[in-house]
Structure formats: C-alpha cells, structure tokens
Amino acid sequence: MFRTITDTRLNDLHFKHDESSGLKAIIAIHDTSRGPALGGCRFISYQTTDEAIQDAVRLAKAMSYKAALAGLDQGGGKSVVMAPDGDFDREALFRAFGRFVNELGGRYITAMDCGTFTDDMDTIATETAHVTCTTAMGDPAPYTAQGVFGSIKACVAACKDLPDSLEGVTVAVQGLGHVGYALCQLLHQAKARLIVADIAQDKVDQCCKAFNAEAVSPEDIHKVNCDVFSPCGLGGILNNKTIQTLKCRVVAGSANNQFADPDSGLSLHRQAILYAPDYLVNAGGLIFASLRHVGESDKVIRKRIDGIGETLTRLFKRQAQSGEPISLIADRMAETILYGNDQGRMTA
C-alpha cells in the first residue's frame, strides 16, 4: 500500500469502519497544494478492499490533474463507500460517512459520483459542511455532459477528414447514465447520429426512443464503425485488446480512468486515434461542484466549462508540434501546474 502511495504521490489515505451502520469507506487525498481536495463519493460493490483502495487512489490522483488543468484552486481527492451485502439503512450509512468526512476538518470535500445521488449528499450535509452537489446545489452530470460535448466538438474540428459541425457525425456512446444520457441529448440536438449501449435495457430503450439512436450490445459498442467513441460508463475500457478493435477517429468520453494499461495512450497514438484525456474532458462536473460550492453563478460556471474545449485545442496544437501522445502532453501540463518546473517539464 505504501508503494502505491509513493508511486502516485498521494498525500494521505483514510479508512472508516462504522459497525452500527455497516459503513466501510476509504477517503484518498492526493494533493491539497492548490486548495482542499474535492472529489466524488463512489458507492459500488467491490470484490476486495484492495480493489476499493486502488480505485480511490487512482481516482483521487485524476482529480488533482483535473482540477489543475481546469485552473481551479482545488486539490484532488476521492472517496469510496463499499456497497454492503444484503439489506442496509442508506440514511444511516451516509450519515456515518458524513461524520467521517467531517473528521478531516475540510481537507476533503465530497460530492456525487457513480452510485450516489443528490439525496445522499443531503444526508451527508446533516453531518458536515464539507459536501457539495446537494439537492439545493444540483446534479453535476449535465455540466459534465456540456464539457464532453464541447470536447467532442473540438476533436471533430481538429480532424481534417471529419465535417466542420457535428451534423451527420456518428458517435457511439457507452453508458447512458446521468452523463451519457445528457450527452446524447446534446448530440441529438446537434444532429449527430447516435449508436448507444448500456447494461440497463430500459436506459437503452429510452435513448433510442428520445434520440432516434441505434442500439448495440455492451460487448460490441467499442467495436462499431463510428467517428467518435464516447466511453461514459465505468473506467478501464481502453486496454491493449479493446484498442485494437476500435474503428473510430476520436475517443472522447466522461468515464474516469479510461486507460486499463499504462501504455494505452501510446497504443491510441500509434493507431492515429485522437484521444481527448478523460480528466480534462470530464472536468465540467468538478468545475460546477467547486464553483457552486462558493456560490458562483450558472453563467460563470457554464463559461468556465466552455474553456475545456479550448484547452483541448491547445493540446492538439502541442501534439502537432511534438508528435507525442496527447495523454503524455496532458499529464505533463497537469504535473507542471501541480509540482512546478523542477523536473524540467514543459510549461503549461
């Protein structure tokens, strides 16, 4: 575990087991040099505690990079609550989690992530002020979708062989949850052609009906012929096997930690697939959570989210100059912001 902490430059890792509610939770604080660590609370099943720790740590690191590239005065952190087996009292569980967050005295601010909802944030808010995305503040997913949509537009614009607008461009969306569905809505409005998949059939049916989308199976979505593949389900979708089967020009989606293998970025680069780094593309939710937490207006938040596509365009220009994989250039930019130029890194 200490190896993981060192390798990821993680600040600290916190554990809580609350016997009465059954809470088993982990909070990973990656970096607080630019402000308190902000990151969602993931509530899903894990096979092992080690799997939950790895998830929290990797996600926390991505939050630091995301906040840095988004220009926020915010550090990176993430929490996971391991979904209990059998019956449990959801309110008691999230109240206990709220007390856990409160013990950290504001070094970590929690928010929504996979498996958590604004109602859960309301429950947490009964125990701590260090929470955002409550019902009163709102759901970050539509803001995340706005950032993904802007990123897809920037990617398509950067591909000379694709049309200038999204009209007629084929986008394959994997995962039709909070973000994926809102993204499909924006793409449909822009007259893009949609191919969709989700493990939940009702979400697929809803999307096909509302946006005239074509459905394929979850096993096939990354293999379909399309211009843009948009992973909006869980992470780890891009590995050396799946990348070989992609038939797209662009990968741009909201899922966190899309790379399963460390050299996935290089593999995409070698296949001449334009990759939009996940932690840049999906920063809309973080921008929303961070700025709404300090009372910023919707207009200001939306404008900041439009900046994601602009940052992406800057990255593409650097890539054209250096010929390096975009994922590498983005990591360097974020690390320069976080750690300075001491390692001879490129200035952001």
Residues 140 and 137: their CA atoms lie apart, in Å, by 9
* Binder among 53, 173, 179, 238 for ligand NAD (CB under 6 A): 179
Question: Is residue 42 a contact partner of residue 115, using CB atoms and an 8 Å limit?
Answer: yes
Does residue 199 interact with ligand NAD by CB under 6 A?
A: yes
Measured from the CB of residue 255, what is the shortest distance to ligand NAD in angstroms?
4
Span of 174-182, 243-251, 294-302, 303-311 interacting with ligand NAD by CB under 6 A:
174-182
43-51 long-range contacts (CB < 8 A, ≥24 apart) are: 43/80, 43/81, 43/83, 43/113, 43/114, 43/115, 43/116, 43/120, 44/80, 44/83, 44/114, 44/115, 45/82, 45/83, 46/80, 46/82, 46/83, 49/24, 49/82
* Binder among 36, 39, 140, 309 for ligand NAD (CB under 6 A): 140
Measured from the CB of residue 308, what is the shortest distance to ligand NAD in angstroms?
12
Residues 282 and 148: their CA atoms lie apart, in Å, by 6
Region 106-125 residues binding ligand NAD, contact defined as CB under 6 A: 113-114
Q: Which two tokens stand for residue 158?
A: 């950067």
Which residues are CB-contacts of 104 (< 8 A; sequence separation ≥ 6)? 14, 27, 29, 130
Span of 15-23, 30-38, 81-89, 250-258 interacting with ligand NAD by CB under 6 A:
250-258
Catalytic, out of 78, 153, 160, 191: 78
Residues 123 and 85: their CA atoms lie apart, in Å, by 21
The CA-to-CA distance between both ends of the chain, in Å, stands at 31
* Binder among 151, 254, 311, 327 for ligand NAD (CB under 6 A): 254
Q: Is 78 a catalytic residue?
A: yes
Span of 82-90, 192-200, 238-246, 266-274 interacting with ligand NAD by CB under 6 A:
192-200
Closest CA to 68 of 311, 343, 267: 311
Helix, strand and coil percent figures for the chain, each rounded to 5: 45, 20, 35
Measured from the CB of residue 139, what is the shortest distance to ligand NAD in angstroms?
7
Pick between residue 174 and residue 311 the one whose CB is nearest to ligand NAD: 174
Does residue 158 interact with ligand NAD by CB under 6 A?
A: no
Pick between residue 162 and residue 176 the one whose CB is nearest to ligand NAD: 176
Which phi and psi (to 5°) does residue 193 adopt?
A: -95, 135
Does residue 228 interact with ligand NAD by CB under 6 A?
A: no
Span of 253-261, 303-311, 317-325, 335-343 interacting with ligand NAD by CB under 6 A:
253-261
Does residue 300 interact with ligand NAD by CB under 6 A?
A: no
**Under rule CB under 6 A, how many of the chain's residues touch ligand NAD?**
27
Q: Which residues bind ligand NAD (CB under 6 A)?
A: 113-114, 140-141, 144, 174-180, 197-200, 203, 218, 232-235, 254-256, 282, 285
> Catalytic residues, which ones?
78
